[in-house]
Structure 1
Amino acid sequence: MKVLKQVWNWFGSIAISFILVVFLGVFVFQSTKVMGHSMDPTLHDAQRVYVSKLSHTFNYEPNYEDIVIIDSRVELKRTFKNDLMDSPLLSLFIKGDDKHVWIKRVIGKPGDRLELKDDKMYRNGELLDEPYINEAMRANGNKQWTVPADHIFVMGDNRNNSMDSRIIGFIPLDHVLGKKLF
């Protein structure tokens, strides 16, 4: 009887620890790995980054130049189930595809008018100072975007090798899963 009680106590402790780790990973903090070279030279392939999930939990709008993780499936309506499935701990037990989680930099916020002109980015008519980009951008022509309400525009720092808002469009704020801490 004593052994059974001890096993039950161990099981309870492990279950509580598991729930706490999942809670922290979904709502507060998680680590993620950079996949690819779209954020070179700032972040490198296979580098581990730590992300605050508080902006997603409390619906904070990110700031310009913040590095954020996003759900690139912009047509998908995000639910709590998506948040659970994107949790690193649960992904150990439930095989999922995390290729939709991208790391990018915030270039435009709701209401901003963005313009790609002569291989340079402008926000609301002002040339962006972007010392973090990998190399001069080589764009195919000039383009303009106006960021709609409740969306952001993101780009990789390696502009010539990045899938970002130029291709998939604006990112709904509920698809901003977190902000890079370090």
Structure 2
Amino acid sequence: MNSYIPRTERIRQERMESKVSRTLEWFQAFSVAVILAVVIRLFVFEPFTVSGPSMQETMVTGDLVLVNKLVYKFREPRRGEIVVFHASEDKDFIKRVIGLPGETVEAKNNKILINGKIVEESYIADHVRTMDFDEIKVPQGKVFVLGDNRLNSTDSRAIGSISVSDLVGRAEFIYWPLTDLKEL
């Protein structure tokens, strides 16, 4: 038996079904976006706020840096990379990798020496000074880190070599403020 539905009623039902359908589509899209954002934040990239003078002139207090959390799951840190690491249970630091596992690191006459050879540090301004320190052997599974502002940095000279397992990740670029946007 055919049931007759007036045209206006049929149009109203179709509109209602369309609104419900669009609402569900938006909800699904929003849910997927939130899930992706959480997964990316937890496992891939993490924002980090620079605090303190230890990395001046490369970055300054208030700069927002994007940290790649995956890179050290696939390879070891490399000299010159800027890393974020757990300095304590409630504090993360950002510094530059200088010495790798098994190497010796020392500073003489404002120069860094790795295994007795001077390392060229193009990322350090000419006026930056590095106080001398005696040779230190970097243990296996650890890296030796220094701030770029060598005279005002709490780094491996004070806190020792950093375990690779304490690395949060590699700083990829400064994304805020936009005027300082740059790859690191």
TM above 0.5: yes
Measured in 1, the distance between the counterparts of 2:111 and 2:149 equals 13
Q: How does 1:67-146 map to 2 (within 5 A)?
A: 67-73=82-88, 97=90, 100-134=91-125, 135-139=127-131, 142-146=133-137
1:25 is aligned to 41
Q: Using the alignment, how far apart are the partners of 2:107 and 2:35 within structure 1?
A: 46
Alignment partners' CA distance in 2, 1:31 and 1:156: 19
Q: Percent identity?
A: 36
5+ residue gaps, structure 2, are 1-16, 173-182
Which secondary structure state, in structure 2, belongs to the residue aligned with residue 23 of structure 1?
A: helix
TM-score of the two chains, using structure 2 as the length reference: 0.72
Amino acid at match of 1:71: H
Structure 1 residues 147-166: aligned runs within 5 Å: 147-166=138-157
Within 5 Å, which residues of 2 pair with 1:8-19? 17-19=33-35
Bigger RCO (CA 8 Å, 6+ sep): 1
Comparing both structures, which one devotes a greater share of its residues to strand?
A: 2
Moved more, 102-111 or 29-38: 29-38
Tell me which residue corresponds to 1:83: none
How many Å separate the matches in 2 of 1:162 and 1:20?
Answer: 36
Q: Tell me the SS of whatever aligns to 1:43.
A: coil
CA contact (8 A) 2:55 2:148 kept: yes
Pick from 64, 77, 81: which aligns with 1:48?
64
* One-letter amino acid of the counterpart of residue 59, structure 2: L
The structure 2 residue matched to 1:37, chosen from 42, 45, 53, is 53
**Cα distance, 1:142 vs structure 2:** 3.4
- Counting matched residue pairs gives 156
Measured in 2, the distance between the counterparts of 1:59 and 1:169 equals 24
Give the corresponding residue for 1:66. Answer: 81
TM-score (norm 1): 0.72
